């Protein structure tokens, strides 16, 4: 399967890794929208949140907390975004969660 994030997870394409465990791979976005912009990605390929199950969401939740701690933004706060499909402006078709922080984020979301 020709999937950019599967290739990053497999180490075939370099990714700036922040965190990894059995189920999750997290790396810095190549085009950061905030001082902290990490992509938290389930290793198992699924297109978007519509294909996601509860067990995977639990792994994602654990990783969000861990990466926020590692990046030093637990106390100051952050935003989690997952884009889904065309209107959601999803550009990479492998489920991922954007962790954004390190500054005061905009109040607008759309
Ligand atoms: P989406 O638009 O699908 O929600 O987010 C995809 C994200 O992947 C974008 O923020 C984009 O900057 C990031 N991205 C695209 N290609 C690469 C890459 O090769 N490496 C990394 N680290 N991030 C990428
Ligand atoms: Zn994939």
What lies within 8 Å, CB to CB, of 39 at 6+ separation is 5, 26, 27, 28, 29, 96, 97, 98, 99
Of the residues 59, 94, 96, 98, only one is catalytic, namely 96
Report how far ligand 2's centroid is from the alpha carbon of 22 (Å): 16
What ligand 1 atom has the least distance to the C-alpha of 15? 22
Predicted confidence (pLDDT) at residue 1 exceeds the cutoff of 80? no
- The H or E element spanning position 18 is strand 17-20
| Whole-angstrom distance, CA of residue 73 vs CA of residue 88 | 26
> What's this model's pTM, rounded to 2 decimal places?
0.98
Give residue 74's pLDDT: 98
Task: Output the residue whose Cα is nearest ligand 1's atom 13.
Answer: 29
Which atom of ligand 1 is least distant from the CA of 33? 10
Ligand 1 atom at minimal distance to the Cα of residue 13: 19
The preferred substitution site among 29, 85, 93, 97 for testing ligand 1, maximizing ligand atoms within 8 Å of CB, is 29
- CA 85 vs CA 19, 50, 51, 82: distances in Å: 26, 10, 12, 10
Is 59 in the active site? no
If you average pLDDT over every residue of the chain, what do you get? Answer: 97
Using one digit for the tens of pLDDT, what is the confidence trace for 64-103? 999 999 999 999 999 999 999 999 999 999 999 999 999 9
């Amino acid at each position: 399967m020709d999937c950019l994030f599967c290739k990053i997870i497999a180490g075939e394409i370099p990714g700036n890794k922040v965190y990894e465990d059995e189920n999750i791979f997290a790396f810095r976005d190549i085009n950061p929208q905030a001082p902290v912009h990490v992509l938290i990605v389930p290793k198992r390929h699924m297109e978007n949140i519509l294909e996601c199950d509860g067990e995977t969401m639990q792994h994602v939740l654990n990783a969000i907390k861990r990466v926020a701690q590692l990046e030093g933004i637990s106390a100051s706060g952050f935003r989690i975004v997952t884009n889904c499909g065309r209107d959601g402006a999803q550009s990479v078709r492998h489920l991922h969660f954007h962790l954004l922080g390190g500054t005061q984020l905009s109040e607008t979301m759309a």
